[in-house]
């Protein structure tokens, strides 16, 4: 029997939902790490047993980075601080925003994106990490800003087969790319419009909300930015708009299907100044042609007026044979689809605000 795990990181702890019946029913446990903000969760299925990795933030006691090899029954923290900025750094670690598994060929490599803006690399499966100096020492650093969420690298996209290539994104700062294993980094924002600065097309400084990578064509990326939805066919070198088929170009989440090329999921919000779903309708939008056209998915979702936001990491897919799609809201609801978004059911309610979700067959 397989176990499906859904990790729901909230503003007041981590909730873990398990399904033993192919995602028909779920049993929640938690809160793990009570009274912490759980901003980053990774489910690493490259190893056996699969590993749960979390980056949480206690408002009193600072950031905590921990792992579990028994689906959350017990947690491990090494004696050494897992993620730490060197003495020479201007500020200490405030928060881990992203945990991302490295390429399949390097099963012990895990990356973390942090606030302040840092990229860290682990070679022991996510127990301890080292700062990637090439990005930390980038000459643009003094000009990177803080979005509302803080000055953070919130998206880390290792290349699935080429360990030399990676794309990261920050808000604000924009997209940066490396092709030499992190030694040097180039901006990747050509074509992305910035509506919040005088120059609409700066080299960097963009407010990127989320980027995802196509699972079958890894040079193809999709981005939800602060007013803009884009596709890149050259791994972030240039971008073109794919917002025309959506009811809005604003939102936070952007998720790629784990097996079908060109299939992506998005949860639009009306506008920067009106962060509600368009027409107050709870709808996920899916494109099956790399953003050329979009279809609303709403079967099983609430039909009454719907106001909550879905945050940048609060939507995900799993790795089941028929892909599951999940999202959580700022008012603590969790919705799941076990058929690629065709139909949905609410599986969680009355949780604290949902900051991130991650799901996998463990």
Binding footprint of other proteins on the chain (CB under 8 A): 35, 58-62, 77, 79-81, 84-85, 87, 89, 91-93
Q: Residues 337, 317: contact at Cβ < 8 Å?
A: no
The minimum distance between CB 79 and other proteins, in angstroms, equals 4
- Taking the least distance from each CB to other proteins, the nearer of 86 and 139 is 86
Buried b or exposed e, range 323-345, using 16+ CB within 10 angstroms: bbbbbbbbebbbbbbbebbeebb
Nearer Cβ to other proteins (48/80) = 80
Closest separation in Å from C-beta 353 to other proteins = 12
Closest CA to 39 of 62, 66, 67, 10: 10
Six token digits for residue 188: 């990747």
Residues in the chain: 362
Q: Is 64 or 190 the residue whose CB approaches other proteins more closely? A: 64
**Minimal distance in Å, beta carbon 89 to other proteins?**
8
Contact 135, 173 (CB under 8 A): no
Residue (57 or 214) nearer to other proteins, CB = 57
DSSP β-ladder status, 295-297 and 228-232? unpaired
Say how many C-beta atoms besides its own lie within 10 A of residue 133's C-beta.
Answer: 12
Report the C-alpha gap between 181 and 140 in whole angstroms.
19
Of 27 and 79, the one with the shorter C-beta distance to other proteins is 79
Give the whole-angstrom CA distance, residue 79 versus residue 101: 22
Minimum CB separation from other proteins for residue 60, in Å? 4
**Which CA distances in Å does 141 have to 135, 136, 193, 202, 271?**
9, 7, 21, 15, 29
Nearest distance in Å: CB 81, other proteins? 6
Least CB distance to other proteins at residue 351 (A) = 16
Q: Rounded CA gap, 24 and 26, in Å? A: 7
Report the alpha-carbon distance of residue 175 to residue 155 in Å, rounded. 9
Shortest Cβ 141–other proteins spacing (Å):
18
CB atoms within 10 A of CB 272: 12
If the CB atoms of residues 59 and 303 are measured against other proteins, the closer one turns out to be 59
Q: How far apart, in whole angstroms, are the C-alpha atoms of residue 151 and residue 145?
A: 6
Q: How near is the Cβ of 259 to other proteins at its closest, in Å?
A: 40
């Amino acid at each position: 029997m397989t176990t499906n795990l859904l990790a729901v990181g909230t503003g007041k702890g981590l909730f873990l939902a398990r399904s033993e019946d192919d995602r028909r029913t779920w049993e929640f446990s938690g809160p793990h790490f009570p009274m912490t903000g759980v901003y980053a969760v990774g489910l690493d299925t490259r190893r056996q047993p699969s590993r749960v990795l979390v980056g949480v933030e206690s408002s009193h006691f600072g950031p905590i980075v921990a792992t579990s090899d028994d689906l959350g029954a017990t947690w491990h923290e090494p004696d050494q601080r897992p993620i730490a900025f060197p003495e020479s750094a201007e500020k200490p670690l405030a928060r881990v925003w992203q945990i991302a598994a490295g390429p399949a060929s390097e099963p012990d490599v895990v990356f973390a994106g942090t606030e302040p803006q840092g990229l860290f690399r682990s070679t022991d499966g996510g127990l301890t990490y080292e700062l990637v100096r090439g990005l930390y020492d980038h000459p643009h650093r003094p000009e990177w800003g803080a979005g509302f969420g803080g000055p953070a690298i919130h998206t880390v996209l290792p290349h699935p087969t080429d360990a030399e290539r990676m794309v990261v994104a920050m808000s604000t700062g924009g997209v940066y790319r490396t092709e030499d294993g992190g030694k040097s980094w180039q901006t990747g924002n050509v074509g992305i419009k910035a509506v919040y600065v005088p120059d609409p097309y700066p080299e960097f400084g963009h407010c990127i909300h989320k980027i995802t990578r196509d699972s079958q064509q890894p040079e193809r990326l999709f981005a939800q930015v602060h007013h803009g939805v884009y596709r890149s066919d050259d791994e972030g070198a240039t971008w073109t708009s794919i917002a025309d088929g959506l009811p809005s170009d604003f939102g936070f989440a952007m998720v790629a299907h784990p097996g079908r090329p060109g299939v992506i999921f998005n949860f639009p919000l009306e506008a920067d100044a009106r962060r509600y779903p368009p027409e107050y309708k709870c709808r996920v939008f899916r494109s099956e042609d790399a953003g050329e056209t979009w279809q609303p998915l709403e079967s099983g979702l609430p039909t009454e007026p719907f106001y909550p936001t879905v945050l940048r990491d609060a939507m995900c897919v799993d790795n089941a044979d028929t892909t599951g799609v999940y999202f959580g809201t700022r008012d603590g609801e969790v919705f799941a689809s076990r058929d690629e978004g065709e139909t949905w059911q609410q599986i969680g309610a009355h949780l604290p605000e949902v900051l991130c979700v991650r799901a996998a067959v463990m």
